[in-house]
Chain A
Amino acid sequence: MRTVDRRGFLRASATSLWAVVPAFALLRPVQDTVPTAGPSGRLWDPNRAGPSLQPVTAEDNDAAIQAIEKRLKCTCGCGLDVYTCRTTDFTCPQSPKMHAHVIELTKAGMSGEAIVAQFVSEHGLEILMAPPKRGFNLAGYFVPATVILVVGAVLLVVMRRWVRRTTPALAASAPVVGSSASPAELERLHEALRHTEA
């Protein structure tokens, strides 16, 4: 039976200690970094921070891509446009995919209009945040203003009729209001009335 002498034991212990130190270092949680650009520390519980994200790319901030995405509705049911959804609801599974699709089509050399048309062909007109100005949907844009203009014109005609009806009655009663008043006095009277009534 092989015996371990005291010196051998100490040497083995010291050697194993050297092996433990790196393991301990690996197990030790990484400290929060100080505010200087350096390696990022790991979060204690990454799950609490929501789904892991990819770093932002130049395309994410591309104004042309954002403009396209603002015309397209996210299909997750949130009712937001793709850009707003992907920069607001970070748990949405749809908007990042749609964003990636827009980037892919842009890289393929398609124009903004062509990309929007491509989405319409894939998802139908519902994908647009506002209906296209053609066919029946044109009515959506012009009916409110047309109705207001038509009603305004009718109102104007009716008001003119009211005024015509009222003017003779006023003329007949004009002497009572102040037959001896000069135009300047009448104007002052109206001004005073205006201040009293308003």
Chain B
Amino acid sequence: MTLLGSLALWVAFLLGAWGAITGFLGASRERGDLIASSRHAVFAMCGALLVAVVSLEVALFRHDFNVEYVAAYTSRNLPTFYIWSGLYAGQKGSLLFWATVLSIFGALAQWLTAPRHRVYLPYVGAITSLVAAFFVSVMLFGHSNPFERLPYTPIDGRGLNPQLQNPGMVFHPPMLYLGYISITIPFAFAMSALLSKRLDTDWLVAIRKWTLLSWLFLSVGICLGMWWAYVELGWGGYWAWDPVENASFLPWLTMTAFLHSVMIQEKRGMLKKWNLGLIIGSWLLSIFGTFITRSGVIASVHSFTQSSVGYFFGAFLVVSAVASFWIYAKRLPLLQAESSLESLVSREASFLFNNLLLVGIAFSVLWGTLFPIISEAVTGTKITVKAPFFNQVNIPLGLALLAFTGIGPLIAWRRSSLPNLRRQFAVPAAGGVLGLLVVLAGGMRDFYPLVAVTLGSFVFVTVVQEFVRGVSARHRQYSEAWLLALGRLISRNRRRYGGYIVHVGIVILFIAFAGMAFKTETEATLRPGESVSLRSPYGWTYTFTHLGVSQYDALNRQVTAATVEVARNGKRIGMLSTEKRQHVDAEGNPTFQPSTEVGIRSDLREDLYIVLAGVVNGTEQAVYRFTINPLVWWVWYGGMVVALGGLIVMWPGGGAVAVRRAQAGYAVKLVAEQGKPS
């Protein structure tokens, strides 16, 4: 099977190269035969890469330890659930996963694109083939072939890193990869529009679903990554501003900016240059993320092993950036706006400032990520840039962005009058003040959490006001029942109201992040029966009583579990268990350093987070870290609400109709403004 896999990789590479060459030639010379050949090559490459993936999975499931990759990332006693994820657990497999998913997306773009947008497909096929062929070439020529064989066959494999043996790690990397990879399709459409000089808003309609899809995958992938870090890494948080985390956040920010600014182009024919720049930038940032994850240029706990593939990605990044922006610069004269801004107090203007903040935060994160390299180059001294720096720089920017999340929907398109602004802002502003008063009365005095709660309340009331007005209008106009009116309000304009739901999710996330400012923790050594108390930010006193330590064997690990009884204000509320796991191979030999499994008890207000640090001199006297993390569940709820809103926005049907309606309305207005009869 591995021979078949290797062969499939070579076939995929040749097909990718062929698809790229014929696609570019066919599109530029308008040769139908070459275009058809390129299209066939896209599908054939997808088939070849699927064969390679199946070959690797077969090797993984058959424990073919003669394959170096299989021996490095799996073992005989690895649970089946995690053997599948071995596919993308290592550098080589993840490159195969990248190329395959990209080829699937490329094939889907060829297959699913509406007939009126097919004019873009020859270049789209060429670009997706080129990028996928690059990834395959890294495997073939960058010493990253996942089918490479060992000169001997080990009895057992090394096994999967214990921290990757978590359900979160089965779903988080694919989601993130899907987000990264699917940006290639909007990028390919954008480049196709530039190359073919078809620069009206049609290409935007063609990529609408793709941009939403990649944004949704990135959002879900980032949230799953946060959840995994929280439940598995044991440090009690979910975001550490690690370079690899930042790399996933960067394209999310620019894609979010694009999803807002694209509305201005669709409705007003403005910001064409900006939107193209954002798509190109987002794609380059996704490649940049891949580069820093794999190159070792920036130290990160999440990185793959440092290898020569970093050079490939560095070169690819530079070449792609130069080529993309060169074509972009050549086409700038064709990217003139069809209308202009009418007022500084308009939704267009607020979206521009929202874009400024989103891209500004992306710049700030990128700056912080690269600053150790910049500083060392300038001063010759190594420095570290970690969470304290990022929090200091980005929290104010994030809060400003939160404010614009509420301001944008309250300002009318084109211009807003003062009475209109007063009417729109009165209730949300009152909501913000009320939120502030409530938390002040509750005793909160920390500046940033106070601002977060105030702005969060303001944005939340803004969204509620929009829903109430919309539902009331439907109820009045069509005499619909309230619930029916709500359902139809959302389904008839999914983009707008789905977007508002996303805003609610963002508010929830901000409030949850603010909650972590009130985290409390303590360390304690307890003999069986001994207790320690910890006061939560809500004023409750939790008592943790150590019950004892037990040891037992599980499938591929030896477990030492410590159990704690928890009481709140003297009333027993349950038991928590936290573990030390020593993973072993099939012979019972230790394979990795002992890992820690945290014990978590969650409710809507706070999480009790217990970590078994170890034991004293081999006895049941256990060393614990007890942490109370407020509002953590709201991070996951916020992520779910964001995903729900995203799904509503991209659900088939409503969106495209709304876009066409908006464009038609815009065209009618243009005619009216120019004084011509319609």
**Residues on A facing B (Cβ under 8 Å):** 32-56, 60-61, 70-71, 73, 77-81, 84, 87-88, 90-91, 124-131, 135-137, 140-141, 143-145, 147-148, 151-152, 155-156, 159-160, 162-163, 165-167, 169-170, 172-173, 176-177, 187, 190-191, 193-198
Question: Which B residues lie within 8 Å of A56 (CB)?
Answer: 523-525, 623
Question: Which B residues lie within 8 Å of A155 (CB)?
Answer: 352-353, 356
The answer on a CB contact under 8 Å between A43 and B673 is no
- Inter-chain CA distance A77–B364, complex, in Å, is 24
Near A by CB (< 8 A), chain B positions 356-397 give 356-357, 360, 363-364, 367-368, 371, 375, 378-379, 381-389, 392-393, 396-397
Question: Which A residues lie within 8 Å of B569 (CB)?
Answer: none
CB contact under 8 A between A187 and B419, given known A54-B616, A79-B242 = yes
- Inter-chain CA distance A187–B417, complex, in Å, is 8
Determine whether B548 belongs to the interface, using a CB cutoff of 8 Å to chain A: yes
The answer on a CB contact under 8 Å between A48 and B558 is yes
CB contact under 8 A between A128 and B384, given known A87-B613, A197-B413 = yes
- Inter-chain CA distance A181–B385, complex, in Å, is 60
Determine whether B473 belongs to the interface, using a CB cutoff of 8 Å to chain A: yes
Comparing B185-193, B289-297, B338-346, the segment that makes contact with chain A is B338-346
B347 closest partner in A (C-beta): A198
The answer on a CB contact under 8 Å between B413 and A198 is yes
CB contact under 8 A between A55 and B623, given known A35-B548, A61-B523, A173-B675 = yes
**Residues on B facing A (Cβ under 8 Å):** 233-236, 240, 242, 267, 299-301, 339-344, 347, 349, 352-353, 356-357, 360, 363-364, 367-368, 371, 375, 378-379, 381-389, 392-393, 396-397, 409, 412-415, 417, 419-420, 469-470, 473, 496, 521-525, 527-530, 545-551, 558-560, 565, 580, 582, 593-594, 596, 611, 613-621, 623, 625, 662, 665, 672-675
11 pairs across A/B with beta carbons < 8 Å?
A32-B548, A50-B582, A56-B524, A90-B594, A131-B385, A144-B367, A145-B397, A166-B342, A191-B420, A195-B473, A198-B347
- Inter-chain CA distance A173–B674, complex, in Å, is 6
Question: Which B residues lie within 8 Å of A125 (CB)?
Answer: 381-384
Question: Which A residues lie within 8 Å of B352 (CB)?
Answer: 155, 159
CB contact under 8 A between A162 and B341, given known A79-B300, A126-B384 = yes
The answer on a CB contact under 8 Å between A87 and B340 is no
- Inter-chain CA distance A35–B546, complex, in Å, is 8
Interface centre among B299, B551, B565, B620 (most CB of A within 10 A): B620
> How many contacts A-B (CB < 8 Å)?
269
Question: Which A residues lie within 8 Å of B412 (CB)?
Answer: 190-191, 193-194, 198
The answer on a CB contact under 8 Å between B360 and A144 is yes
A41 closest partner in B (C-beta): B620
A-B complex: 7 closest residue pairs judged by Cβ atoms: A46-B618, A144-B364, A40-B619, A148-B360, A130-B389, A55-B525, A162-B341
Question: Which B residues lie within 8 Å of A163 (CB)?
Answer: 340-344
- Inter-chain CA distance A81–B344, complex, in Å, is 46
CB distance from A63 to the nearest CB of B (A): 10
A37 is contacted by which of B524, B530, B580 (Cβ under 8 Å)? B530
List 18 extra interface pairs beyond A88-B236, A145-B364, CB under 8 A: A35-B565, A42-B620, A48-B559, A48-B582, A53-B525, A55-B621, A56-B524, A56-B623, A87-B523, A88-B234, A90-B614, A125-B381, A130-B386, A144-B397, A162-B340, A190-B417, A190-B420, A191-B412
B584 closest partner in A (C-beta): A48
Question: Which B residues lie within 8 Å of A170 (CB)?
Answer: 342, 673
CB distance from A157 to the nearest CB of B (A): 11
CB contact under 8 A between A49 and B580, given known A159-B344, A166-B340 = yes
Question: Which A residues lie within 8 Å of B235 (CB)?
Answer: 80, 84, 87-88
B356 is contacted by which of A143, A152, A176 (Cβ under 8 Å)? A152
Interface centre among B341, B367, B409 (most CB of A within 10 A): B341
CB distance from B599 to the nearest CB of A (A): 14
- Inter-chain CA distance A6–B280, complex, in Å, is 102
CB distance from B67 to the nearest CB of A (A): 29
Interface centre among B473, B522, B528 (most CB of A within 10 A): B528
- Inter-chain CA distance A160–B345, complex, in Å, is 11
CB distance from B337 to the nearest CB of A (A): 9
The answer on a CB contact under 8 Å between A35 and B547 is yes
The answer on a CB contact under 8 Å between A90 and B385 is no
The answer on a CB contact under 8 Å between B375 and A140 is yes
Interface centre among A47, A60, A131, A167 (most CB of B within 10 A): A131
